């Protein structure tokens, strides 16, 4: 099999199980404004396109709700204080990253999560990650599924972001990740322990799957 030198990971649902902390912060914000709360299964379906869209999906009327910006701000403030309450790496992730790093591979994370939260989580759980990029649009870098954050990660790794010249692979758990990899011109490996199941991923174009992090060492 092809061996890659650069591994670019999604974060939520791929490296970290963040669902409970996200759900707690969403529902906390909704409670403050006397709005109906959501089950974890609903939150699971809402995530993947950044926290603003997560809240647009969670709030009745979405961004058209007259208090949406206040609700969104309440969510962000709560999540920044509670992002580490229950969030943990999936089983086998730290060992997999350590092994890749020991083999001389470069590692990056690109996420639609807020930049501050992304970098805090990576620093806390995965110090071996070389580059961590979160929501970055204020600098003209569009969020996933645009390829911008992938190209920015490659730039920070010192690599020219031309797919034909890069021995890199993208690893994620959602349809957004499949689209991002395609838009960046990179192969995509879809994980089956995250927020989407195999049937859903196949329906959105996934072709390569792993069921446990150790399997990534074969690529």
3-state secondary structure of 131: strand
Q: What is the DSSP letter of 143?
A: P
| CA angle in degrees (0–180, nearest 5) for 190-191-193 | 155
Sign of CA dihedral 2, 157, 170, 95: positive
Catalytic residue flag (residue 10): yes
Report the alpha-carbon distance of residue 5 to residue 107 in Å, rounded: 9
**Per the residue annotation, which of 10, 17, 21, 177 is the catalytic one?**
10
204-218 exposure pattern, b = at least 16 Cβ within 10 A, e = fewer: eebeeebeebeebee
Contact status, residue 191 vs residue 173, Cβ threshold 8 Å = yes
Residue 171 near residue 111, CB atoms below 8 Å:
no
List phi, psi (to 5°) of 134. -110, -160
Residues 6+ apart with CB under 8 A from 177: 10, 14, 144, 170, 171, 188, 190
Give the catalytic positions in this structure: 10
């Amino acid at each position: 099999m092809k061996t890659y030198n650069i591994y670019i990971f999604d974060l939520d649902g791929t490296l970290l199980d963040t669902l409970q902390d996200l759900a707690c912060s969403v529902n906390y914000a909704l409670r403050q404004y006397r709005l109906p709360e959501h089950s974890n299964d609903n939150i699971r379906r809402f995530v993947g396109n950044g926290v603003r869209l997560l809240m647009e999906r969670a709030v009745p009327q979405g961004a058209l709700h007259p208090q949406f910006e206040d609700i969104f701000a309440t969510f962000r403030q709560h999540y920044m204080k509670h992002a580490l309450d229950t969030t943990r790496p999936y089983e086998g992730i730290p060992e997999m990253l350590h092994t890749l790093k020991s083999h001389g591979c470069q590692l990056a994370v690109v996420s639609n999560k807020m930049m501050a939260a992304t970098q805090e989580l990576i620093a806390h759980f995965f110090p071996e990650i070389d580059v961590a990029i979160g929501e970055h649009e204020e600098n003209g870098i569009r969020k996933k599924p645009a390829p911008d954050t992938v190209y920015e990660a490659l730039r920070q790794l010192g690599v020219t972001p031309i797919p034909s010249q890069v021995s890199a692979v993208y690893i994620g758990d959602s349809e957004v990740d499949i689209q991002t990899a395609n838009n960046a011109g990179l192969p995509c490996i879809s994980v089956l322990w995250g927020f989407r199941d195999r049937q859903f991923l196949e329906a959105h174009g996934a072709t390569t799957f792993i069921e446990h992090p150790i399997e990534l060492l074969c690529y």
